[in-house]
Chains A and B, each alone.
Chain A
Amino acid sequence: MFTLVLAATAEAHAATSSSSPVDLLLQFGVEWKYVVWQFISFAILAGFLYQFAIKPILATVDERNARLAVGLKNAEDTVAKLAEAQQQAAEEIKKAQAAANKIIEETRKTAKEFSDLQAKEATTRGNEMITKAQQAIDLEHKKMLEEARLEVARLVVRTTQQVLARELSDAERARYNEAATREITTV
């Protein structure tokens, strides 16, 4: 094998050094009609391949690239929308937090006012109860004093009745009867 190669190389070198390139090609057995036919068949093959293989593939690739571009664009839009939504959510959260803080503050204020009002009412009610109790005590005290006074008066009157009934003489009673008659008849 190596010997054949060397021989061909030597012959080629000899031919190159001794003739033109066309002659050299002819020496290698290249025939023009076959070459032309080769070019034609290659062109047909290439056209066929281009029409039915490469072109659909390129179309599919372009379509896929377009889809990828649309997907990327959608992804970018989605990312942008996501960022916007996050920003809006953050703003909403901030607003909600502020509103919640305001509500909590108002609630605290209302609770404090309600507590103060309750305490005030309780104090007022307590004072009223104390006043009423004091009035009831005073009334009871007056009633007790009145009852005591009446009881003392009854005792004094009863004692006086007993003493007068025992001590008055008929003459004194007669004088009193005369005075009573005058009093009654002058009415």
Chain B
Amino acid sequence: MHASRQSLQYARQLFRLSLADGQISAERVSGVLAYLDKHPPRQPLVILQHYRRLVAAQLAKNCAFVEHAGPIASGLLRTIEDVLSKKYQRPIAAATRPNPDLIAGLRIQVGDDLYESSIASQLAALSAP
């Protein structure tokens, strides 16, 4: 289905209504979804998809996805959260996910930024042309 300009603009308006102090508010998101349920727009699927993409992007900005190989102490995760929150000047929560391909080390993604220090990346740099 072709997304009309009005639908995308409407999705952005809904997204702005979902923010509280620059952060995604679960209550407001629930309210927006309830409103859409009661008053379905002309292109509900397109609007919801775009709205979900905007909300996910905003949530990703406040979340640091930490991939790791081997055990990682909780203290290290808090250190990462503190440092990144200071750096980006917004609260950032760490979400871990094991990745054995790293062999050892970490790969952290915050929004579009990627930080990595792992044995796999160092070995890849050695074999790069």
Contact = CB atoms under 8 A, between A and B. Distances in A.
Contact of B126 (A157, A172, A177): A157
Contacts of B72: 174, 177
Instruction: Report, as a range, how many residues of chain B touch the other chain.
Output: 20 to 34
Nearest to A164: B103
A1 interface: no
Contact of B106 (A146, A181, A187): A181
A178 B76 contact: yes
A161 B103 contact: yes
B104 A181 contact: no
B105 A154 contact: no
Contacts, number: 74
B68 interface: yes
A178 B73 contact: yes
Given A168-B103, A184-B115, A177 B127 contact: no
Contacts of B116: 184
A163 to B, nearest CB: 10
Interface string A156-184: 11001100110010101110111111011
A160 B103 CA distance: 10
A172 B72 CA distance: 11
Interface of B: 68-73, 76, 79-80, 83, 100, 103-106, 108, 115-120, 123-124, 126-127, 129
Q: List the 7 closest A-B pairs by CB distance, nearest first.
A: A173-B70, A180-B117, A176-B104, A185-B83, A157-B127, A180-B105, A153-B127
12 contacts: A150-B127, A153-B127, A164-B104, A168-B104, A170-B70, A174-B71, A177-B70, A177-B72, A178-B73, A180-B104, A184-B117, A187-B115
